[in-house]
Amino acid sequence: MLNPVQKYKADMLKIHVCQSVEAMAEAAAAEAQKFLRAAIAIKGRAAAILATGNSQLVFLEKLIALTGIDWERVTLFHMDEYLGIPADHPASFRKYMKEKVADKINPRAFHYLRGDALEPISECLRYEALITTTGIDLVCMGIGENGHIAFNDPPVANFNDEEGVKIVKLDDACRKQQVGEGHFPTLDAVPQYALTLTIPALVNADRILCIVPEKRKAQAVKAALHGPIVKDCPASILRREKQATLFLDQDSSSFVDFSLLSPVIDPVRTSGIVAQPTEPPKPNR
C-alpha cells in the first residue's frame, strides 16, 4: 500500500506525490497555512503571490477553508494579466482573484496587475515596486502545459531577467491552453500579449509551493524533473530552488521516472531526538 504522500527530491526541489487532486490540494494548503502563520508570528504580517487557472481552483478552495490564518495581516498579489483586458472580462485574472479569493477572505490588501492600464510599461514598474517594497514570503504557482511559470513561456523565459514585471508575447501552446480551459471561445479571441512577473521575481520568495494536478500537465512535469534546466522548460528552474516544493497527483506524475529521483524518508522520533521543523520565514529582509 502506498503512503498518502510519497516524497522525493530532484536536485534541490522537494517533490510530494499525492493520491488524488483533493489530497494534493489539502497537503499544499496545509503547507501554505503553516508558512503564513509562521511569517505572521515572526513579523506581524505576511505577503503571498497566488496563481490563477483551472489547476489552482481546488488548492485555493482548500486554503480559504482552513482556519487559523489571520488574513487581515496578509497582503496578496497575483502573477499575470492579459494585456488590454478589463477587470470585468470573464477571463480576467483580476476577476478570478477577486471572486475566488479576495471577496471570501478580506485580506489586508490584494494588489491587482492592471492589464488595461493606459501605460502598461508604467504599470509593470508600479507593480514591481509594490512587490519589492512589500517583500514576498510565499509564492503558490502552477506549471503550464508548455512548462511555463506565470506567463514566462519558453520563447520569452529568462532565468536572469533584470525586470521584475514585463510585457510578453504568448506562444501558441499557451494560448491554446487558455481555449482548452474554457477561458476563451477561440484561439483568435486570446490576447497575444500579457503582463507577467518574471522568473527571478517569482523564485525570490522565501517559500515556493508549486501545485500541479492533471494528466495534461504530465509531459511538462517530466521535462521539468528529468530534462536539462533550460528556458525550453521554464519550470525546470525550480530544481535550483531549495525553498521550493512541487505537489503532484497520480495523473500529473504519471510520466515521472521515480528511479531517477532521490527518495526522501521522513525523520522519525529516535532516542528522544526529534528532527527540527522546516526553517521559519526570515525575520528580516
- The string of pLDDT tens digits covering residues 216-267 is 999 999 999 999 999 999 999 999 999 999 999 999 999 999 999 999 987 6
- For residue 193, CA distances in Å to 3, 23, 146, 190 come to 43, 35, 16, 9
Statement: residue 271 has pLDDT above 80: no
- Where do the structural domains in the chain lie, given as residue ranges? 5-261
Domain covering 5-261 in this structure, CATH number: 3.40.50.1360
Cite the beta strand spans of 51-190 per DSSP E. 74-78, 80-82, 109-111, 138-141, 165-169
Q: Contact 72/43 with Cβ under 8 angstroms? A: no
Residue that is written with C-alpha cell 494548503 in the block? 29
pLDDT at 182: 93
43-84 residue pLDDT tens: 999 999 999 989 999 999 999 999 999 999 999 999 999 999
Average pLDDT over residues 31-38: 98
The whole-angstrom separation of Cα 92 and Cα 96 is 6
Is the pLDDT reported for residue 2 higher than 60? Answer: no
pLDDT at 282: 54
Residues 106-129 pLDDT 10s: 999 999 999 999 999 999 999 999
Interval 165-213: pLDDT, tens: 999 999 999 999 999 999 999 999 999 999 999 999 999 999 999 999 9
Q: Which helix (H) or strand (E) holds 180?
A: helix 172-180
pTM: 0.92
Residue 104 reports pLDDT greater than 60: yes
